[in-house]
Amino acid sequence: MTLQLLISGFSLGAVYALIAVGFAIVFSIFKFSNIAHGGMISACAFIGYFFQSSFEEPPPFIVTALFTTGVGVLMALLIDTIAYRNIRKKQAPGLYYFLMSITVAILIEQILSVFFGKNLHTYAPIFSSTTFSIGGLRFSSIDTLIMVISLAILSALIFVINKTKIGLAIRTVAISPSTSQLMGINSSVVIMAVFAIAGALAGISGVLLGTKFSVYPSLGPSMMTKGFIVSVIGGLGSLGGAIVAAIALGVVEIFLTYWLGSLSTPIVLFGIMLLFLTVRPEGISGRFAKDKV
């Protein structure tokens, strides 16, 4: 049983990690908490759902996932253009970004509630059987798939950030936008790359969450809360810290649910997070929220 729970926990934690990282990467560049990320996740969950339902026979999961990821990228760039670009041009203080992101988040949630909030939507099942067994142990098919996809995406992202030219540019802009300009780095390219990455992460998290749970307007925001806290606990803007904290949260949550039931788990869970923030506000990575990816 323990191993199955562990896989479940890793799977849930890996999705939290996708959310936390999408959140942390925007924070690392702009130093504001992009609350709108949760709204994007909900919107992408719906878009994936409607895309899938528009076919007689649901397309392969990978097609839905790729399509939604692409839409997530476009949506993030659109939100940047409409909501953030002007604030950036005016060099307004960080508070305005924050207000804007709350506004966008609520706007998206309201639109979704008005048009699609009446019914519960569920994705077509991917697997004919919900579990599979290896050597006498039964595993949840969907949890395993989610875990594999999430970990693959996180690895790819870590590679991009640490080993590619654009990744280095993202890290230098996170440290100092003006010095980065002196290296010939085009800040608008970096900003677009960061929103594109965040959008792609919102897209894929939306589809994975929609597949695991069902699709409803506050799906993203509720998950987002955990992603947000986890990215603070990990050390805001630290990708490695956010991933470790997210996976730990997922595992703890699953075990608590098993022992205490799903009703009292959130109380204990948020209690632990409160304790962590009190005792070690600088997060796992040991640095206060500052300029590092």
Partner 1 sequence: MAGILEIRNLKVFYGVHEAVCGVDMDIAEGTITAIIGSNGAGKTTIINAISGMVKRQGEILYNGKPLSDKANRIVKDGIIQVPEGRKIFAGLTVEENLLAGAYTVKDRKEINRLLEEQYALFPRLGERKKQDAGTLSGGEQQMLAICRGLMGKPRILMLDEPSLGLAPVVVNEVFRNIVRIRDEGITVILVEQNAKKSLGICDRAYVIETGRVVLSGTGSEMLNNPEVAAAYLGSERN
Q: Does 292 bind partner 1 (CB under 8 A)?
A: yes
Question: Which region, judged by CB under 8 A, interacts with partner 1, from 76-84, 99-107, 118-126, 168-176?
Answer: 168-176
C-alpha 96/C-alpha 265 separation (Å) is 35
**Using CB under 8 A, which of 172, 257, 265, 285 touches partner 1?**
172
Which residue, 54 or 91, has its beta carbon nearer to partner 1?
91
State the minimum distance, in angstroms, from the CB of residue 161 to partner 1: 11
Report, in Å, the least distance between residue 287 CB and partner 1.
Answer: 9
Measured from the CB of residue 231, what is the shortest distance to partner 1 in angstroms? 18
With tokens 């604030």, the residue in question is 87
Residue with tokens 């304790």: 275
Nearer residue to partner 1 within complex by CB, 134 or 182: 182
CA gap 20, 250 in Å, rounded:
12
Q: Which of residues 176-235 bind partner 1 (CB under 8 A)?
A: 176, 178-187
Strands (E) in the chain, as ranges, are: 131-134, 137-140
Structure token digits, residue 122: 């569920």
Contacts of residue 81, Cβ cutoff 8 Å, sequence gap at least 6? none
| Nearest distance, CB of residue 282 and partner 1, angstroms | 15
CB of 42 to partner 1, least distance (A): 34
**Min dist. Cβ of residue 79 to partner 1 (A):** 25
Q: What is the DSSP letter of 80?
A: I
Scan residues 30-89 and list those touching partner 1 (CB under 8 A). none
Instruction: Tell me how many residues contact partner 1 (CB under 8 A).
Output: 19
Closer by beta carbon to partner 1, 5 or else 92: 92
Can you read off the two tokens belonging to residue 290? 């500052």
Buried b (16+ CB within 10 A) or exposed e, 211-236: bbeebbbebbbebbebbbbbbbbbbb
Tell me the window of 31-39, 124-132, 166-174, 228-236 that interacts with partner 1 (CB under 8 A). Answer: 166-174
Residues forming beta bridges with residue 138, ordered by sequence position: 133
Element (H, E) at 263: none
* Exposed / middle / buried, residue 196 (Cβ in 10 Å: 0-12, 13-18, 19+): middle
Interface positions with partner 1 (CB under 8 A): 165, 168-169, 171-172, 175-176, 178-187, 291-292
